[in-house]
Amino acid sequence: MLNTRLFSRHLAAILLLALAAPVFASAADIPKNYRLQYQQSFKSKNAFDEFMMTDRSAWTLHEYEGNTVLALHGKSDYEPPHRSPYNIALIRGITFGSFVLEVDILQSGVKGTPIAEFMEQHEDPTKAGGYNHRDHCFFFGFQDPAHYMYIHVAKTGDNNAHNVFVVNEAPRTPITDFRTLGADWGVNEWRKIRIVRDVEKSTVALYFDDMLTPIMIADDVPFEQGFIGFGSFDDIGWVDNIKIWAPDSQVNNRSFFE
């Protein structure tokens, strides 16, 4: 017998996907009223100071093959007010409503172990603890440590991984309407991420390498204005080439964690 409720949810997700995918069909296809509001490629030593972090000692500017990146190399000494990611680096001084974000991410390891070393340590890494949840997180609408959204991109999805989450004075709760089964970070591979946040439609979509089809969509997304940032629940990773387009942005000098 057909489960009409389940069918309706799948149909709604398919419709959302169909609506979201063509809107930003290529990396150059930015809405005409959007302007480049922020960019960062970490070529300056002062770039580190543009971020407020849950634990500054867990992050560093790391040089690799002549390029400098923002590197999360260990778990932050931070206890969130509600069950949510430990490792957060927010862009300081500026908040966004609707935006298009593009960034290069290298998910570099499981917990504090570099991924190549982790793979060598385990005969079957897929059965090793932490491997299927190896993640990077993308924060937006961040109002304070108890009110924000984030997208958790993981190797394998479940109720606690590979979802769009909201933290609203309670432990993180998934609000995803559509997602793939997971995302393969690979071993020391850079991935292109694009996030499209539309406040008027209350939607967010995340693209992973393929800029034509999102791998995650959520509707009824709260918190219209907030800080944007990067990090992980408890893994490590690198961030580079941040670009944020938006119709506008707001100066906001609030500071967290410090």
The pLDDT assigned to 119 comes to: 94
pLDDT lower than 50: segments of the chain: 1-15, 17-27
Cβ–Cβ under 8 Å, residues 241 and 68: no
Distances, alpha carbon 47 to alpha carbons 1, 43, 167, 238, in Å: 58, 7, 28, 14
The pLDDT, as a whole number, for residue 14 is 44
195 token code pair: 């996030």
219 close to 177: Cβ distance less than 8 angstroms: yes
How confident is the model over 74-108, as pLDDT tens digits? 999 999 999 999 999 999 999 999 999 999 999 99
Beta strands in 92-145 (DSSP E): 94-95, 99-110, 113-114, 135-144
Torsional sign, CA 169, 135, 68, 193 = negative
Q: What is the spatial distance between Cα 244 and Cα 246, in angstroms, rounded to a whole number?
A: 7
Predicted local distance difference test score (pLDDT) of residue 143:
97
Is the torsion defined by CA of 95, 196, 115, 127 positive or negative?
Answer: positive
Instruction: Give the model's pLDDT for residue 5.
Output: 40
* Structure-token pair, residue 231: 């990090």
pLDDT recorded at residue 28: 54
Full DSSP string of 188-232: T-EEEEEEEEETTTTEEEEEES-SSS-SEEESS----SBEEEEEE
- The DSSP code for 129 is T
- Identify the pLDDT of residue 45: 87
Token digits for 150?
Answer: 């984030």
Q: Compute the radius of gyration of the chain from its Cα atoms.
A: 18
pLDDT given for residue 63 in this prediction: 95
Rounded to whole angstroms, the Cα distance separating 163 from 154 reads: 8
Report the pLDDT value the prediction gives residue 3, as an integer from 0 to 100: 41
Tokens (6 digits) for 57 = 């000692």
Topology adopted by domain 4-251: Jelly Rolls (2.60.120)
**Is the model's pTM score more than 0.75?**
yes
Name the nearest CA neighbour of 89 among 100, 105, 67: 105
What Å distances lie between residue 184 and 130, 157, 169, 209, 238, CA to CA? 14, 11, 32, 11, 16
* Residues with Cβ within 8 Å of residue 159, at least 6 apart in sequence: 174
Return phi, psi of residue 169, to 5°: 55, 35
